[in-house]
Amino acid sequence: MAQPGNPRPRFARTRKISNGELHMAADKLRQFEDQKYLNIESFRKDGRSVITPVWFAQSGGRFYVYSEAGAGKVKRIRNNPKVRVAPCDFRGKVTGEWVDASAKLETGDAEEQAERLLTQKYGWMKRIGDFFARLRKRRHAIISIGLE
């Protein structure tokens, strides 16, 4: 509940972020600059991990990933949003450090914005993939990932 004259709820807790933490977060993000692929490590219900290299676009400190709606990674993220990510090459060979993150499935305006970012980054390759997905009547999902 908010107190009169205080717009924040009284149970909300804020924590001041140190400059060191800001630099560490910036360093974690910096390793993904100019990369075309990242590995997502998502977790099955039994706790085993599955690592998948994917295309991604970055905006505002978040990563956006395009996937088939029925893909295993989408199902795993629906069940458990905790993931880890690392920059990689097209074969999945890690080229940076693993970072803990949280993922969610996007809808509406955020989904449309992510589609635009991915099309802008990957151009004709994404458009061809979209074309064949429509031919096969495949639905897709956009996964949004934020570093922790």
| Amino acid present at 17 | I
In a domain, 7, yes or no: no
In a domain, 85, yes or no: yes
Q: 87: closest CA among 56, 60, 120, 123? A: 56
**Band of residue 130 on the pLDDT scale cut at 50, 70, 90:** confident
Say what the pLDDT of residue 73 is.
95
Over residues 92-127, the pLDDT tens digits come to: 999 999 999 999 999 889 888 988 988 888 888 878
In a domain, 128, yes or no: yes
Looking up residue 96, the CATH number of its domain turns out to be 2.30.110.10
Q: Give the separation between CA 9 and CA 72, rounded to whole angstroms.
A: 39
In a domain, 14, yes or no: no
Total domains in the fold of the chain: 1
In a domain, 121, yes or no: yes
Over residues 56-94, the pLDDT tens digits come to: 999 988 999 989 889 999 999 999 999 999 999 999 999
Q: Give the separation between CA 145 and CA 141, rounded to whole angstroms.
A: 13
Alpha-carbon distance values, 9 to 14, 15, 17, 69 (Å): 11, 15, 20, 38
Say what the pLDDT of residue 138 is.
76
Q: Look up residue 94 and give its DSSP letter.
A: B
Domain that holds residue 67: 19-147
Over residues 32-59, the pLDDT tens digits come to: 988 999 999 999 999 999 999 999 999 9
Q: How many CB atoms lie within 10 A of CB 80?
A: 14
Q: How many CB atoms lie within 10 A of CB 62?
A: 20
